Amino acid sequence: MELQDYRNQLDQIDDELVALFKRRMETVKSVADYKKEHNTPVLAASRERDILYRVTGACGEELQEYTKILYSTLFELSRDYQENRLSTGESKLCRDILSAVEQTGTFPTRAVVACQGAEGAYSQIACDKMFELPQILYFGRFDGVFRAVENGMCRYGILPIENSSAGSVTEVYDLMEKYNCKIIRSLKLKIEHCLLARPGVSLKDIKEVVAHEQALNQCGDFLKSSGVKITVFDNNARAAKYVAESERTDIAAIASANCADLYGLRILSDKVANSDHNYTRFICISENMEIYEGANKITFVTAASHRPGSLYSLIAKFATRGLNICKLESRPIPGKDFEFRFYFDVEASVHSPDTQKILSQLEKEDFFTFLGAYSEVF
């Protein structure tokens, strides 16, 4: 037989599979209607387990894993179809989202904005890129930014969420859980770290370097080769200010070039980062949900059920609809051993019926919080 003959056989088999799939989903529809009438939950874990045991055994050892994947996908499609059938209409979350879309105007040019650190901090640089005329209030810690937004002192807050070299800013993720704030925009900022010291100080004089933990991680190769003492500060700009106000000639800070001008420091080196490709994502948070035109990303946090395949089932909801999960971050649940919450960033529009269906389904989970719909600027 020629290759085309085999392909013709596969086409015939596919036709049979499609007919059987349609027949199966028609039966699933009837199952969903029965469950709706008798108030029965969609998930039947024991039945799915029994089916997997039967069909994997029937296909033999060579195809066992493939059969498991095939039927796990079928189960996910079946549950999704049933949940859509059982849906009682537009969910509260979707109503809130659509209301926010209608009530949100154009992105403001003027605003009172909370930033962590001091003048010259990367958060300040990110703020100036997001807003044309911001009034910036500085806070010593990330939670101070959240509190300022929550209590109405500032309309918005700017926070780093992840770095291309050092990874996620886990403290901010944990605070997103604690405070009821929404993400309304994000920005990708190129980070260019410099080693700064007082005028007259040279690189060979440096015995100690101060900076935020993230900056120290991002410049780890340089610091290891230098053999200097490392001291963690809550913010790079505050570290630069500390160096400027000290009388020491053996200390330097890692911060932006802006800080050199602001605090009268000398740039000893602008090649201290591990990588030239060093970017940080900053988010802009608000107390209320604001969804501006062009929003093409959603963020939410949920806790997958403590059972095999639960995270896979969650991811499959997006995969089957062609939606890209661009970030998945896990954080431990306080007070529970080895149980985690999952933060999702998904490229999706809240105007899409598929997105609305998924959010309506997720809203029914034991734990789910929608954190915002927004666009990312550069």
Catalytic residues: 280, 282
Burial 233-256 (b: 16+ CB within 10 A, else e): bebbbbbbbbbbeeeeeebbbbbb
In the sheet with 194-197, reading across from the earlier edge strand, the strands are 229-233, 208-212, 251-255, 194-197, 266-269
**Which amino acid type is present at position 229?**
K
CA separation for the pair 312, 309 (Å, rounded): 5
**Angle between the 64-86 and 45-59 helix axes, to the nearest 10 degrees?**
150
Residue 293 DSSP one-character state: T
CB atoms within 10 A of CB 101: 17
Type of residue numbered 161: I
Q: What is the SS3 assignment for 222-235? A: HHHHHCCEEEEECC
Task: Tell me if residue 10 falls in helix, strand or coil.
Answer: helix
CA distance 116 to 121: 8
Token pair 């659509």: residue: 98
**CA atoms of 125 and 258, how far apart (whole Å):** 9
What is the C-alpha separation between 209 and 220, in angstroms, rounded? 11
